[in-house]
Amino acid sequence: MYKKIETNMKIEQIYTGCLAQGAYYITSDGEAAIIDPLRETQPYTERLEKDNVTLKYIFETHFHADFVSGHLDLSKKTNAPIVYGPTAQPEFEAIIAEDNQLFKIGKVTIKVLHTPGHTMESSCFLLIDENGKETALFSGDTLFLGDVGRPDLAQKAANLTQEELAGLLYDSLYHKILPLPDDIIVYPAHGAGSACGKNMMKETIDTLGNQKKMNYALNQPGRETFIKAVTDGLTPPPAYFGMNVAMNKKGYESFDEVLNHGMKVLSVTEFEATAEETGALILDTRNDMEFAKGFIPQSVNIGLDGDFAPWAGALIIDVKQPILLLTDKGREKEAVTRLSRVGFDNVLGHLENGFEAWKAAGKEIDAVNRITPEQFAARLKIGKSKVIDVRKESEYTAEHVEEAYSKPLAYINDWIKEIRPEEHFFLHCAGGYRSMIAASILQARGYRNFTEVEGGFNAIASKTNIPRTDYVCQSKVLQLNN
């Protein structure tokens, strides 16, 4: 999605909903800059060619944790240098800017504002127009709309506590960002849905003046209250974050090569043999309705029509894990691309003609025991039946099936150890997407003692009279801080 600002220069926000990530494309007088590009570079190179402009700089606000940036491939294809803020130490050639250093793009200027706190190298980029007016702030993960960057991700690299990093973030925001004019447009790196913050707005562009009024983090009476506010309620980051930081800092395989081997077409025989020889994870990207009816045994379902990449990153332990894809016809490239955005480059290929080919070959098929909300209502005995709710804890606390247990999907690799194979339970999420992911993981690891509810809590609430509550029994909530 592109949002355009029509002035003497051009600013485009290129927003990717699956990652809740904003990249930025700026042009002025025949030159361009790109900030925080995604892994696949073709859309950028095509845009540069179409606009007949030269890419002068690739700006990185920090070493991203939630996605692999396209900075290296883009630099190789365009010869544009990569620019980081002070203290960054990439393992490839880059310009390490000084605080307040200026970079010219056509008739406009980008000023580097070093804003440590989210990470030590984190920087914002202030755009100054040809008349010298401070116009836009590309705030990276330092300042979001409604929130600020979490200060717990860079503790090990910085050798600081999250409280110490939060203190640095306070200094950056209150001393460098808040003094800027109210009419500056803020362009953050992420929006609602990203794991990089906890309270982000659904909007993706705002004025700094409005953020000064309504952003809780910018309205704290002092440094200590700010530290407490921004560190309160942080949940553990997804497991892949550290691996993505390493790839962004050290380098990675070209996306073109990743796509090339990921698009390898495999027959049923080749697919089966590759799975056995490599120990590859079979990743089925069809929707939950189709997967429930039949799938390759041991495969894991993460549907493309959802937050595919973040869930893959959160649940697949190692970005180097070999993966074999099963997709709907024509969606193979999409699956490989979206996996690469979060660092999963070891896709060995995909099954030719998908699940239908597997079925036609007479191979073994598995299925999930799924029931309707009405069947769930008929079988449920409050106080006796065990119900596992895999929504986020905030969704659970808002309203849930009475006596249900809160076990968020993001932490299934931890709570799966608590499951007793002899005890039956019902499983649901909000709409079926997440509970089918959980169901596929459970069955892949040998658990079959459950029944998944079609349509999740939304269908349960609208189609049944099952008792629901917002009362939270602490013994039934997964203690995320343990």
Could you tell me which CATH class the domain 254-360 is placed in?
A: alpha beta
- Residues of the chain falling short of pLDDT 50: 1-7, 475, 478-482
Q: Which of 431, 447, 87, 142 is CA-nearest to residue 439?
A: 447
Record the pTM.
Answer: 0.91
In this predicted model, what pLDDT tens digit does every residue of 428-475 receive, in sequence order? 999 999 999 999 999 999 999 999 999 999 999 999 999 998 766 554
Q: Which pair of structure tokens corresponds to residue 52?
A: 């007949």
pLDDT tens-digit map of 104-144: 999 999 999 999 999 999 999 999 999 999 999 999 999 99
As a whole number of angstroms, the distance between CA 391 and CA 381 comes to 21
Q: Which residues contact 425 (CB under 8 A, 6 or more apart)?
A: 385, 386, 387, 388, 419, 449, 450, 451
pLDDT at 187: 98
The CATH code that applies to domain 2-243 is: 3.60.15.10
The token duo for 428 is 């649901």
What's the CA gap between 332 and 328, in Å, rounded?
7
Q: Are strands 387-389 and 405-406 parallel, antiparallel or unpaired?
A: parallel
Q: Is 352 helix (H, G, I), strand (E, B) or coil?
A: coil
CATH topology agreement for domains 254-360 and 370-476: yes
CB atoms within 10 A of CB 192: 16
Domain ranges of the chain: 2-243, 254-360, 370-476
What was the pLDDT predicted at 199?
81
pLDDT score, position 472: 66
CATH superfamily of 370-476: Rhodanese-like domain (3.40.250.10)
